[in-house]
Amino acid sequence: MSKAKARSISYLCVPLLIVAFFAVDTNAQCYGSLMLAPDFFGNDYIVRLCVHFGDVNTLPYDVACARAIMPGESPVEFPVYAYNLHDGIDYLEFSVESNDSIARFVPEGDFMIQSSSTGYGDGIYRIDLKLDSSWPVCGPTLVGVVEVVPVHGYGSIWVDLAPNRSTGEMIARDRYNNRHYLFSPKHGGYAGSDYLYRCQEPICEEPNEHATNVYAITAPGCSVKIGWFTGSGNRTMVRYSFDHYPTGYDDGELLKEVPSSPGIDQFTYHLPVPQGELIYYSVFSLTRDIGGAIELGSFVECSSLDTVYTSCVIATKEATWGQIKNLYK
């Protein structure tokens, strides 16, 4: 093929690539190469993995992915957290990479190492991991700690969270064995002096802080009351299903969408409801623009979900035997 013909083909490909980018809702799950695959954007259930040196309660909106190294510190520990877990995950598969020697990965909480292998190449140390748990784990949660031993005298030690090199997978699985993509929005983290390609801001704005303290309870009049504390969006959407927690804005059935502001107590009623059914509710915190399009989606954790078994609650009033007898006089 001639160089001129090759150049012509490459020029033709560029507009097609641009169309692919703009055809995707870039605010739903906007992150680098993920934008090239529209099927990734059906909902906001992509599990996040991050290096975080702060308190778990500050996730997901204050990821502290950098810190200083203390004199003589060895090993240098990098805590790894997971969030946006919906109703829980029980399997993670990924790789940890570093510019210095990785001593080990210590699982935390309910996670255990199913398999691991180490490698080294092109100046990068690596440990490939498959982790599982005996039951679904809610988020945000500490997954484990990476221990790196400084052996090269670098001024900065960085850690990245990447696909498992042995399998090519970077995934989580939920209680139903469904696969969900897993990624690190801040490219891992570092300890020591600043490192250009780690602990960076995500390319695109992340979803809204999730709704919390969601509850669903039977209420008078054969209804269900659903309540929550709002997330950081300007709208709150409640969806339901009879066999699973809705995982996105088109999944399940829409119950209600209401205006909201961050951190307030809200509730709504589901009426009528079929009796003798288990109903699954999910609450999403959305940001809509002036035209009604969703600008930002919603993180979802266990505290954004609840179920209720429906049964009619009949209002009653206590009465004495004398009062009851008077009814029949």
What integer is the mean pLDDT of 304-326? Answer: 67
* CA distances for 32 relative to 21, 223, 247, angstroms: 10, 45, 23
Domain shared by 164 and 299, yes or no: no
Q: Provide the b/e sequence for 21-52 (b: ≥16 CB within 10 Å).
A: eeebbebbbbbeebbeeeebbebbbbbbbbbb
* CA distances for 6 relative to 12, 15, 16, 18, angstroms: 10, 16, 16, 19
Q: Which residue has the higher pLDDT, 322 or 208?
A: 208
Quick check: helix, strand or coil at residue 105?
strand
Domain shared by 187 and 223, yes or no: no
Here the CATH number for the domain that contains residue 76 is 2.60.40.680
Residue 303 falls within a domain, yes or no? yes
Confidence at residue 66, expressed as pLDDT on a 0 to 100 scale: 95
Domain shared by 177 and 144, yes or no: yes
How many domains would you assign to the chain? 2
Domain shared by 84 and 188, yes or no: yes
> How do the residues of the chain divide into helix, strand and coil, expressed in percent and rounded to 5?
10, 45, 45
What integer is the mean pLDDT of 169-197? Answer: 88
Task: Report the predicted TM-score, pTM, of the whole model to 2 decimal places.
Answer: 0.83
Domain shared by 126 and 48, yes or no: yes
Least confidently predicted of 74-83, 125-134, 242-251: 242-251
Instruction: Return the closest-CA partner of residue 303 out of 177, 182, 139.
Output: 139
Q: Using pLDDT thresholds of 50, 70 and 90, give the confidence band for residue 44.
A: low
Confidence at residue 34, expressed as pLDDT on a 0 to 100 scale: 53
- Residue 235 lies in domain: 212-309
Domain shared by 69 and 124, yes or no: yes
pLDDT in tens, 264-286: 999 999 999 999 999 999 999 99
Domain shared by 184 and 303, yes or no: no
Partners of 218 in the β-ladder? 224
